[in-house]
Structures are given as C-alpha cells and as structure tokens.
A and B are shown apart, each in its own frame.
Chain A
C-alpha cells in the first residue's frame, strides 16, 4: 500500500506543519485519537460543525459590534463561546485571538474589539483552508 502509506505520510507531514505553525494544538491530536473505525469521519464532522458555528458566531459578533450602543456582555458571551469551541477543536491561533478579544471586551474597547474581530475572521479562514487541504475535502 504505497499509496496509502504515502498519503498517510503526507497527512502526517501536513498536520505536523500545522502544529508547528501554531494553527493546531494538542487538542486536535486528541480529536484524531478519538476517531476510529466506528466513526471514520469524526474529525471531519466535528471540524465542519465548528466552521458552521463559527460563521454564525462571526456574523453575530459583527452585528453586535455594529450596534449604536454595544452590549459588551453579549459580545463577551459570543467570544467566550468562540474561544471554547476553537479550543476544543484545537484551533490554537483562533483561540489566542479570542483571548485578546475578551480582554478588549472587558475594557469595552471598541477599536480593540474590531481589530480582534478582523483577526478572528482571518485566522478562521486560514485554519479552515489548512484543514480543508489536510483532509482534502471541502469543509
């Protein structure tokens, strides 16, 4: 099974580079471990779910930050959830942005929040591309 092992190797290499670059962390490894024969698409499913939720979250955040009078508690709640799900997936860079984002929320720093929102979007797109490439699927 040269092809298989080769593909596996590619996968591993690709994944390793993602780890190295900080896109993914150990939590992602845990997810990989959870996958087994009974549920061979587990990781792909979870990651897809994550992306779906993230899209909604980012939209909500954008809307919330465009309000005239911003409800920072609500924004914080969204970011908090985003942080939770991104860390569960292992999307490290996204999670890091969330941490910073939350601080800005606490300070009610609108500019900081907007910057973080942009960053969050970027990181999300990046990790999404990477993962799609990794799994060779369109997530």
Chain B
C-alpha cells in the first residue's frame, strides 16, 4: 500500500491517530509528499478488495488510470490487516459485497468501527435490497459491476466529504465541549492536521477550537483514527467500566489517551454498541421490540437515532413495550449482530422484550421512553406496542409527527414514529395507521428509507416489517427486520407507509413484494432499523431539522415512544452533524413531547425547552422533565444537545436518575449478554 500518496494538505486523508502523531509526522508517515495539494485527487490511496481476480485486475488498472495509488487484495482478512498495519495508509476502500471469506458488509462494519474510512461497496448485484443494505451499513457509495472508469474517477469526493464532516463534528463538539468540560485535551497533532484541513475547508477553527485545546487555536480536531490498539484500549476501558456504566467521559479517563476527546469516544462508543448489538442481536431477538416503544414513535425514532445502542436500551427498558419485541430485538440484533451481518440480526428472535430492554438501558437514548412506559403508560400499553403499537398512539403521533416533522430529521422520526406507532397498534391497525401517517407525514421517503434500511425503523413495526420494506429500498431492509421479528404476529408494519409510501395495507403483500428481502433477510427484521439509524446518525449529516416535531405527537399516545423517538431525532441531529443542533432545537417548540429527553434538545432553543418539558412531562415522566431540562440547558452546543437528550432520557428512564455526565451516557446498555 502506498502511504505516501497523499498530498499533505488536501489529501491528507487520515489524520494521525488520536494519540498521535502530529500532523506533520503523519504526513511524513504517509509519505509526506510535499503537500502538493493541487494534485488531489491524484495519489489517492485506494484499497480494493474483491475475490474475483479478473475484476480486481481491471479495477486496479482503471484506478491507476485515474492516477490513484492502488493496493489490491482478494481477501477481506488481508485487507483488514493492511488497514490495521497502516492506520493512515489509505484514503478509501472499495470492497465487493459477495466474498467467500467475509461478507462485504461485515468488512464495511469493521472498517467503519476501527478505521472509519470511507468505504465503497460494489457488486454485480444491483437489487435494491442489497444497495439499501449498503446504505444502512454505512457505505459511502455503491457501484454496480461492471464498473466503469468514470465511476471511479469521482471516488475522491467521498474522502473529502467524510473529512469535512468529521471536522464539522469536531468543531461542534469541540465547542460544546469547551463549554462544559474543558478537560479534554486537544490533540496537538490533530490540531495540526486540522489546521490544514481547515484552512482548506473551513474557517471554523478559530472560534471553536481556539479555546478548547491547547494548541488548537485554529485547528480542527482531526479525525480520530481508531487504530486497533486504540480500539482495544477502548474496549478494555468499556469492559472495565461495564457496558452499562461505560460513559464516554469515564472511558476517556480510563483510556487516558492524549488528544482524544469525549466526542470521539462517544461516537465510537455508539458504533461499538451498535456492533455489539448486532452480535448479540440474535440472542435477544425480542428485546428490542418490547421495550422500545413506549410510544411507538418516539421509541422508535429514538432508536434509530440512537443507533444500536439505543435499541438495546430501549429493549432493556422493555417497558416500552410499545415496540414490538420483535422490532426491538431486531434492532438490537441488528446493532449487535452487525458483524454477523444484517440478516442475522434481523432474525433476532423476539427476545424477551424485557430482557432486551433491561439490558440495554436505553438510558441514553430513551430514558424517556422507558420511563414513560413504566410510569405512565400502562404496562398494557407497552405490551401492545410490542406486538403492535397501540392504536391510540399511533395515529396521533404520526399525525403530529407529520406536521412537525417537516424537517428532514423530523421526517425520519416520523417514519420511525410511524413505524413505531404502527407497531403499537395492532398489526392490522398499525398498518392502517401507518399508512395514513405515512402519507401525511412521511414525506421523506428518503429518510424513511434510511430509517428502514437501518432496520431500526423497521423493527419498530411490531411484527411485520416485511411488507413495508418492499416499498422502497429502505423497505427492503425493513422487511428484513420485520421479517425477523419473531413475533411475526406483529402487525406487518408497513414500513412503506412510513417511508411515506402510500399505505401498504398489509404487510403480507409487502412481504411478497419483497420476496427478495424475505429470502435474503431471514431476520425478523427488527433490528435493522436501529442500525440504520445509528449508521445514519453516525455517518451522515442528517441535518435533522426539527427533530422535535415528531415528538409532539408522541406525547399523547406514546409517551414512551416519544421519548424514544425524540432521542432518536436528537440523535440524528447530533450525529448528522453538529451543525444540526440548531435545527433540533427548533423542534422543541411545543411539539416535542419528548418527555424529558427532549428537553435537552429544546433547551438549545432555550425557551422551548422549558415549556415543552412540562407538557411532556405530563405524559411521561413529569418528574424528571423539569430537572432534566435544567440539566440540559446547561448543555453544550448542538452536539451536546443530543447528548443531553440522551442523558435526559436516561434520567427519565431512571426517574431522575441523574446521569451526571454530560456526555452521552450510555448507561442503558446492560449488555450483559453481549460479548464485548
């Protein structure tokens, strides 16, 4: 592999490891070409993985024609070892989907978790389901074979985009951090890198970075590369703390890596939990569904945003009950079983919902949801949710969602909610409702797709996701999850509906439509949505405009759901880009039922928060709301908002269990069973 390819300035794709190296050194390591940025994207360092040697040869030739530096390998394990050996040795990875030794999606997950490089999937298979799977797993792009050289010429954009986002996140989190915790040291190295990066890209550094870190005055935190050692340190810290108690702040302290910020840890933790979820997804099939939805939407929505972790949390909370156990399970499975590949996750049998929830402790995400369920929602309700979202809840929620969810984010949430809502209702009902809701609010097919694809969303639908899935690509994923739901009895949540697709009255039809999906995705399909969201959150810029919107609806019916959903929304916002923060706040304006969790969001807006909280509180946990709001208000900037929300949720969940840390407290995760 060619380390040297990158031009220092522009190309520097990989920032030195967090611990590390200064930018200069990394540049040097990278072969430090003397920063001829003009040459970019020439010299882009590409790693190609494909078991078909013919294709590999052709691709290599094409990439060389584009003046990229190419390293090829035909086995995923070999590719991973290349990547691990040279942490900053590559800028982008192109991988085939179908490989004998390791599934391409699994490789994608590993890379995302460990190195966080942009990964492009490719395959001769152009069926929607597979493409959707790529999206939900976090692939930057998906190429259909035969690959043309024109398609390869532009892959550099993914590198640039990813870096840009990272910077952005850094900035936001950095600024947020500063306010709250000035302790995280800035990476000196990163600062350096960031500097270049920033200069090239943005101007933010001065404001954000200046105060937070030592030298960072104008540096943006470079992207942290989670090397194997770093990841192992991380895992050790997490294990030491216990999954439940593993909060970014503590992990950070334990790891004691200079230059690593809480945000880095937080986002990595998210991914990790998602990963764990997927692993153990099969073990806790039902979990997800059950706890998830206090209010179908919120729980669901939150799930997606929360990323696998949330799901688990939700699942753990089990109380949510709103989400059909299956969905939760699926979500969980998806999250955990990511490595095992989506399919398996989906099939996560309906884990006893309670279990799932309990072990996850969504706290971070769905504190509200859970608490809600527990407190307000009658357990019966919750139960309903699981199998099918309680009828009452959904319609309203969705409707409200719709309205509020104008934002992209909102849309997503809506979807989630819808799905959730769908779940709560009886299956049949849910579908109907979903459909309606979908129409109303779900405009955003895109979002929904994502949601669906994530699978997390899908799970929401209590039982039958499958049908919905067919609606769109996302739906395919959804189906997966849905199908998996062991509960099966669940309403076939027409995800489609959620997607914004015209109602799919019955899942069964949907199922058929997605024959492929079903076949492929044997899973119950609960999990996926979650993952999707997580992935989405993490990788994308959601630009969640108003997450809060969705919450509104949830209030009345699905309290728990609301919470859940809200967090999701929040999450999304968060992950998508800290910049979103502003948007999210808007949500609060009244819509956000997000019971406690939302408040955090709103408090950005400030005023909204206070108001909302109280309102929400009534539905869910009134008690916590107030306190949480304060908690959140102090929070950080946009990023923190999310965190705050999560935290808030946790609080909610625990009835005011204060999660002191501002950071994302992922306490909810009682991943006892999860192999860490």
Contact = CB atoms under 8 A, between A and B. Distances in A.
Contacts of B98: 77, 80-81
Contacts of B516: 106
A84 B61 contact: no
Given A27-B146, A30-B148, A88 B123 contact: no
A106 B519 contact: yes
| Most chain A C-beta atoms within 10 Å of own C-beta, residue among B57, B123, B145, B149 | B145
Interface string B36-62: 000000000000000111110110011
B516 to A, nearest CB: 8
Nearest to A39: B61
A34 B52 contact: no
Contacts of B52: 53, 81, 84-85, 88
Contacts of B228: none
B57 A49 contact: yes
Contacts of B100: 77
Nearest to B147: A88
Please classify how large the interface on chain B is, using the bins under 10, 10 to 19, 20 to 34, 35 or more.
20 to 34
Nearest to A90: B146
B183 interface: no
A85 B54 contact: yes
A45 interface: yes
A83 interface: yes
Contacts of B61: 34, 39, 42, 46
A83 B52 CA distance: 11
B241 interface: no
Nearest to A80: B98
Given A39-B61, A45-B57, A83 B148 contact: no
Nearest to B122: A84
Interface in A1-48: 27, 30-31, 33-34, 39, 42, 45-46
A46 B56 CA distance: 10
Nearest to A77: B98
Interface in B91-130: 96, 98, 100, 123-125
B327 to A, nearest CB: 27
Interface in A53-86: 53, 77, 80-81, 83-85
Given A77-B98, A80-B98, A87 B124 contact: yes
Given A34-B62, A34-B65, A77-B98, A85 B55 contact: yes
Contacts of B57: 45-46, 49
A25 B53 CA distance: 20
A80 B61 CA distance: 22
Contacts of A30: 62, 146, 148-149
A77 B146 CA distance: 17
B130 to A, nearest CB: 10
Contacts of A33: 149
Nearest to B148: A30
Contact of A80 (B62, B65, B124, B146): B124
B124 A89 contact: no
A87 B55 CA distance: 9
A81 B51 contact: yes
Nearest to A81: B52
Contacts of A83: 124
| Most chain B C-beta atoms within 10 Å of own C-beta, residue among A34, A90, A106 | A34
B55 A88 contact: yes
B58 A46 contact: yes
Contacts of A85: 52, 54-55
A58 to B, nearest CB: 14
A31 B58 contact: yes
B145 A87 contact: yes
Nearest to A102: B125
B548 to A, nearest CB: 44
A95 to B, nearest CB: 8
A55 B117 CA distance: 36
Contacts of A46: 54, 57-58, 61
Contact of B53 (A31, A34, A49, A77): A49
A110 to B, nearest CB: 17
A82 to B, nearest CB: 9
A84 B149 CA distance: 16
Contact of B125 (A34, A39, A49, A80): A80
A85 B611 CA distance: 61
| Most chain B C-beta atoms within 10 Å of own C-beta, residue among A33, A46, A88 | A88
Contact of A84 (B62, B145, B148): B145
Interface string A89-100: 110000000000
Nearest to A99: B124
Nearest to A98: B124
B149 A34 contact: yes
Nearest to B144: A87
Contacts of A39: 61
A32 B100 CA distance: 30
Contacts of A87: 124, 145-146
A84 B123 contact: yes
Contacts of B65: 34
A88 B54 contact: yes
A83 B55 CA distance: 11
A75 to B, nearest CB: 13
B58 A88 contact: yes
B145 to A, nearest CB: 5
B33 to A, nearest CB: 21
Contacts of B58: 31, 34, 46, 88-89
Nearest to B149: A30
B347 to A, nearest CB: 15
A81 to B, nearest CB: 6
Interface string B128-160: 000000000000000001111100000000000
19 contacts: A34-B61, A45-B57, A46-B57, A46-B61, A49-B54, A53-B53, A53-B54, A77-B100, A84-B123, A85-B52, A85-B54, A87-B124, A87-B146, A88-B55, A88-B145, A88-B146, A89-B54, A89-B58, A106-B516
Closest 10 CB pairs of A and B: A84-B124, A87-B146, A85-B54, A50-B54, A88-B146, A27-B146, A83-B124, A84-B145, A88-B55, A34-B61
Interface of B: 51-55, 57-58, 61-62, 65, 96, 98, 100, 123-125, 145-149, 516, 519
